[in-house]
Amino acid sequence: MSMMDQDILKVLYTQEEIAARVKELGAQMYEDFKGKDPLFVSVLRGAFIFMADIVRACQVKSDVEFIAVSSYGNATTSSGAVQITHDIQQDISGRNLVVIEDILDSGNTLSFLKQYFLTKGAASVAICTLLDKPSRRTKVITADYIGFTVPDEFVVGYGLDYCQKYRNLPYIGVLKPEVYSGE
């Protein structure tokens, strides 16, 4: 048991369960995007691990880009204002985008990004999120590909962080409340 494991209340999805689901999503997206030269866009930082796995699970001819955004507000509640801190590096007009996210929560980030990419001329913008937390949604947005639908719990691992830590856990777990209480 690692030091990080001791901060985990329970495991929601094991490394094996995640791998199996990623494989299914990759196969599904392969059927939907073969021949369409999709551009996979990962939203940093949380999606970096999912991105690496999903593009290998979906063997279509494609390329990758990364975008980083920041939303303002306190640690757990997004204010709704989204700013791009690192933009994609190429012209996306006419391209079929697949935005890769680790979690769809309030929907602020993805509703902003979807509109942003459409404004920049993308032919289509699909959303693939590993986790969906619909109970927290404040924007009308749905993902096209969802790994798992999760309850409103503090999840970390497989890219998801608490104060930038725990991203490298190979599984997805719920953080013990004592770790973040007293914030």
- In this chain, which of 101, 131, 158, 166 binds ligand PRP, going by CB under 6 A? 101
Amino acid identity at 118: L
43 binds ligand PRP (CB under 6 A): yes
Residue 13: CB minimum distance to ligand PRP, A? 16
Q: How far apart are CA 136 and CA 53, in angstroms?
A: 26
The single residue of 7, 53, 102, 105 carrying the catalytic annotation is 105
105 binds ligand PRP (CB under 6 A): yes
Catalytic, 105? Answer yes
Q: How far apart are CA 176 and CA 156, in angstroms?
A: 10
Q: How far apart are CA 37 and CA 97, in angstroms?
A: 9
How many residues belong to the site for ligand PRP (CB under 6 A)? 15
Interacting residues with ligand PRP between 116 and 175 (CB under 6 A): 161
Residues classed as catalytic: 105
- Residues of this chain that interact with ligand PRP (CB under 6 A) are 43, 45-46, 71, 78, 101-109, 161
